[in-house]
Structure 1
Amino acid sequence: MPNDVFISINASALHAKSKVYIGRALVRKAADDLDEYQLWASLALELLGKAALASTHPSLVVDPTHWQSLFVAAGINATTDVKTITAKTLFERLAHLVPRFDKTIQKFCQEIAERRNAELHSADLPFKAMRLEAWEARYWHACDTVLHHMDSSLESWLGAVDAEAPRQLLEEAEKAMKAAVELRVGAAKERFGELKKAERDRAAEEAEQRLLQHQSELFVGRYDEIWSTACPACGCRAFMTGQLTGEDFSEEQDEHAIWEVVDREYSGEEFHCPSCDLSLLGSGEIIASGLNCIHEEQHSREMEYEPDYGND
């Protein structure tokens, strides 16, 4: 990875600027200017996300259709007018790079970016219509998720004193979510328990016979993989789906085989149990229910090219 790239796509520079902008955001919040608080906060989030991508490689931040920018990302000074990706592309890429940056967080980040654009480029006043409690906790959750991936924290990003309020807000939101999920699981368990034993047995048997490839209609979004897991409410076979977050060649590889084995890791983003109708959305809710949102599988696939055996 190039160590010296143009400042606009330099990971350290992007991270430093995000710290300046979130500092401005907190100053505006202290002055009770909540519109400008959300404006600076949205800008800080986008810069933080770009810093996360650039820390993996600067090419992830530039517009792939602008070849001069790609050259700069490779460390070649082809232009000073570097074109970077849109907020929509940024959050889509973060969803593939950061395991806990699920579709729920991605959707929230896209929405705050769209409000920011409307605030700056139209006569609309979208920030004024947003109550603080409708976005602030989710905002800090998104930032915390990105920072965790960067081996950082809110405390480091904001400074220990400034981070106290967001951290407390996050803890309160996490407690509220966990309590809500526990109540939802308990209600599903109670509903299932009220069924007659024959009905419970039939539901469990039907769940065992369901084919994974036919369960996509259970879920709201489209994902890379579906797998089965035990329901935390009724104990029946249930289903989870999520995005591919990593792939590596298996150690069980046969050097003479024409098939290769890869270990794949997925991060769960939706859960549904057809037996008791329990649904969980986002990795936060899945973890709060006691389920593991990380799933690992081995896949076999034919090699693109057969081994070169020589001509002797």
Structure 2
Amino acid sequence: MMTPYGYEQFWVKAKLFLNRAMDPSTDRTEDEKQLWAALALELLAKAALCKVSPILVAEPTDDGSHALKAAGLIEGEPHFTTARASTIFKRCQRVFRPFSEEEATKIASGRNEYLHGAALGITGIPPHAWWPRFWAQANILLTAQGADISLLVGPERVDQVETYLAQNKKNIEHQLTSRIEAAKLSLARFREGRMSGSELAKWQAPQRWTPVMDYSASATCPACSGIGMLEGSDIADRRVTEYGGNEGDHFIGIIAEIDVSPEYFSCPTCRLVLDRFELIAETELGDECFTIEVDPEDLADWLEPEYGND
């Protein structure tokens, strides 16, 4: 039985839309080109998920009918529904790092406003800035499904896309540099007593420097070398280590640890905030996951049966 959520269907349609988006013809306006590209991004996201399992693109329902159809377990009903773009992007962010749900949603929101709203343009972002942001997300989805740029747009357009990707990397580097330098300057002004009025009031206002995500660990701030907080919600790996006495002694217990992908960093000393994975990845903070120890009970569903609660 053929599932309506086949990988090939999404992939071919994404290629078609990208061809329209990159068509050099003057018949299409820039807004129309960005519209086709935005539609293609959602299709690429569905293709990437579908290659893992068609169930991942099915619209969730109480009776599970769409998931069952995606799995090829039921047939006979002509109507099939995939999950909303927001749901698709959330799932991609969790499994295809460093895909950004936020960036993808901005692209989709511009598309929706252009189609259904009163605005004449798809976005206020100029093309030279919009396309690097688009290709940064699209390229992650290509990598996730084992494809490359040439397979999507053809070898003659690879250089154009590579230029956009290089430009996006520079933009991220510039954002990181500007945030770090601003944090250093603000801290120096505060310590030297050169802040006054609203600036000082804002600096001294009570702020929430407690973790806002599921997992956190202390980390050295790249701006002031103080102690900040690195946070994340997605577990990259889990492991347990036995501890006890000498060889032959009875088992005493285990240490459970998890590796977490960093997603957010904040420093209460200089007020630096890095709220995107791409920014963290440009620092030493993003070189690898951070590790924390957890209660073995938290991994009860993952551990082997002998580590259970019997």
Q: TM-score, normalised by structure 1?
A: 0.76
Question: How many residues end up aligned between the 2 structures?
Answer: 283
- Which string of whole-angstrom CA distances, capped at 9 and with x for unpartnered residues, describes residues 205-229 of structure 1? xxxxxxxxxx99248x952222211
SS of match in other structure, 1:22 = helix
Tell me how large the CA RMSD over aligned residues is.
3.4
Pair 299,132 (structure 1): closer, same or farther in 2 beyond 3 Å: same
Superposition pairs for residues 192-271 of structure 1, below 5 Å?
192=187, 217-218=208-209, 222-250=212-240, 252=242, 262-271=256-265
Q: Find 1:92's aligned residue among 73, 90, 97.
A: 90
Q: Find 1:41's aligned residue among 22, 37, 40.
A: 37
Superposition pairs for residues 11-160 of structure 1, below 5 Å?
11-27=7-23, 31=27, 33-65=29-61, 67-78=64-75, 79-101=77-99, 105-127=100-122, 129-160=124-155
Shift of 1:38: 1.2
Shifted more, 50-59 versus 108-117: the winner is 108-117
Contact 2:18 / 2:40 at 8 angstroms: preserved in 1?
A: yes
Name 1:272's counterpart in structure 2.
Answer: 266
- Identity within the alignment, %: 27
Name 1:178's counterpart in structure 2.
Answer: 173
- Which string of whole-angstrom CA distances, capped at 9 and with x for unpartnered residues, describes residues 234-257 of structure 1? 222111222214344536499x98
- Which string of whole-angstrom CA distances, capped at 9 and with x for unpartnered residues, describes residues 18-62 of structure 1? 112111111167655111111110110000001111112111111
Contact 2:242 / 2:251 at 8 angstroms: preserved in 1?
A: no
Query: Aligned partners of 1:217, 1:5: CA distance in 2, in Å?
Result: 52
Unaligned runs of 5+ residues in structure 1 are 198-214
Letter in 2 for 1:277: R
Runs of 4+ residues deviating >4 angstroms? 28-32, 189-197, 251-254, 256-263, 304-309
Shift of 1:90: 0.9
Shifted more, 224-233 versus 84-93: the winner is 224-233
Unaligned runs of 5+ residues in structure 2 are 193-205, 245-249
Pair 95,223 (structure 1): closer, same or farther in 2 beyond 3 Å: farther
Q: TM-score, normalised by structure 2?
A: 0.77
